[in-house]
């Protein structure tokens, strides 16, 4: 957000969350919202007509607000003076609020398909083709985000993340002997395949019912297993190794994997996936929070640390 503290703001947002809070002194309550657009999220506080507002507005509504940019406990927020719903003739559509991959998406698609088509093992090739030669699935895969809030959390993010993991895995495989390179590449391509069904994209990215109930790891394993069942004579050993890579790619039970990595390819995939996810998240935080005179990010609860931006007075 380019505005400075104290500036007046008039802008369209989508409501990501909204709740009513009672006043501490027993007086009238107020409404707390989280507003979002393609550039990020910000809290909004509505002090007037709170009971009316909480009845009229809900999560997912696109609204036009007017207010003042404030800072409270080191976080920016908007004190809202006026709010209204989107109406006919307003110059915005729901997809204007969804963050998007900022690079050349067509090049990303072509580079990804080159990796898919590089596989020579006939069983692995047929498995990949069963997904990516299906036009609707490939379209959904290319649109899907890589996450909701943490990493690659924009349309095209899953495609970008997957391709990055493939490229890094190939580099790592050059260093270590005994790596089954094609198995590693296929595991990298398929490790997050369940995210195609894990998220819904409306005015913002959120979990689907299936995604919230099952998670992308379980869904991804199920999707791959279903495809393998219809491939004639698919080797049982190869099936076990692929499914293990999907199930273990988040590394630990605490991080959501039902098993830990127990093959060379699985441990490489886990560490590469973790590297790309965190590097993307760090990049986003640095981009969004680094300002002149600011050396540190806000405390990042998910990784239990601050991120250092550097000293602007350091030698060039």
Sign of the Cα torsion 238, 180, 120, 146 reads positive
Helix spans in 192-310 (H):
195-198, 209-214, 216-229, 236-248, 264-289
pLDDT confidence of residue 151: 93
Specify the DSSP class assigned to residue 305.
B
- Contact (CB, 8 A) for 246 and 261: no
Q: How far is CA 166 from CA 94, 100, 109, 205, 255, in A?
A: 32, 21, 13, 25, 21
pLDDT tens across the length of the chain (316 residues) = 567 888 999 999 999 999 999 877 666 799 999 998 888 889 999 999 999 999 999 998 999 999 999 998 888 899 999 999 999 889 988 888 888 899 999 999 999 999 999 999 999 999 999 999 999 999 999 999 999 888 999 999 999 999 999 999 999 999 998 999 999 999 999 999 999 999 998 888 889 999 999 999 999 999 999 999 999 999 999 999 999 999 999 999 998 899 999 999 999 999 999 999 999 999 999 988 888 888 999 889 889 999 999 886 544 4
Alpha helix ranges (H) inside the chain? 50-56, 105-117, 122-132, 135-143, 157-173, 181-190, 195-198, 209-214, 216-229, 236-248, 264-289
CA angle 19, 157, 150 (to 5 degrees): 45
What domains appear along the chain, each with residue ranges and CATH number?
Answer: 8-96 (2.40.50.140), 100-284 (1.10.3210)
What pLDDT is stored for residue 291 in this prediction? 81
Do 269 and 243 form a contact (C-beta atoms < 8 A)?
A: no
The SS3 of residue 93 is coil
């Amino acid at each position: 957000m380019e505005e400075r503290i104290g500036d007046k703001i008039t802008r369209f947002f989508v409501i990501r969350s909204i709740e009513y809070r009672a006043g501490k002194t027993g007086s009238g309550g107020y409404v707390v919202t989280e507003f979002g657009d393609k550039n990020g999220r910000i809290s909004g506080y509505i002090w007037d007509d709170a009971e009316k507002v909480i009845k009229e507005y809900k999560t997912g509504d696109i609204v036009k607000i007017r207010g003042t940019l404030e800072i409270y406990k080191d976080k920016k927020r908007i004190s809202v003076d006026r709010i209204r719903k989107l109406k006919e003739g307003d110059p915005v559509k729901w997809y204007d609020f969804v963050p998007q991959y900022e690079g050349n998406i067509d090049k990303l698609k072509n580079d990804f398909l080159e990796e898919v088509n590089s596989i020579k093992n006939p069983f692995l090739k047929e498995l990949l083709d069963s997904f990516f030669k299906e036009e609707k699935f490939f379209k959904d895969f290319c649109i899907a985000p890589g996450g909701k809030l943490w990493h690659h959390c924009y349309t095209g993010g899953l495609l970008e993340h997957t391709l990055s993991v493939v490229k890094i895995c190939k580099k790592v495989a050059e260093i270590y002997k005994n790596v089954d390179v094609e198995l590693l590449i296929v595991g990298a391509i398929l490790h997050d395949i369940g995210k195609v069904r894990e998220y819904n994209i409306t005015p913002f990215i959120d979990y689907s019912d299936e995604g919230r109930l099952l998670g992308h790891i379980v869904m991804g394993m199920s999707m791959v297993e279903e495809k393998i069942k219809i491939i004639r004579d698919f080797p049982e050993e190869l099936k076990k190794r692929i499914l293990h890579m999907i199930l273990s790619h988040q590394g630990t039970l605490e991080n959501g994997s039902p098993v830990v990595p127990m093959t060379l390819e699985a441990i490489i995939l886990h560490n590469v996936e973790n590297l790309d996810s965190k590097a993307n998240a760090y990049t986003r935080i640095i981009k969004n929070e680094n300002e002149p005179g600011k050396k540190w990010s806000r405390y990042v609860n998910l990784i239990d640390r601050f991120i250092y931006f550097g000293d602007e007075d350091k030698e060039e």
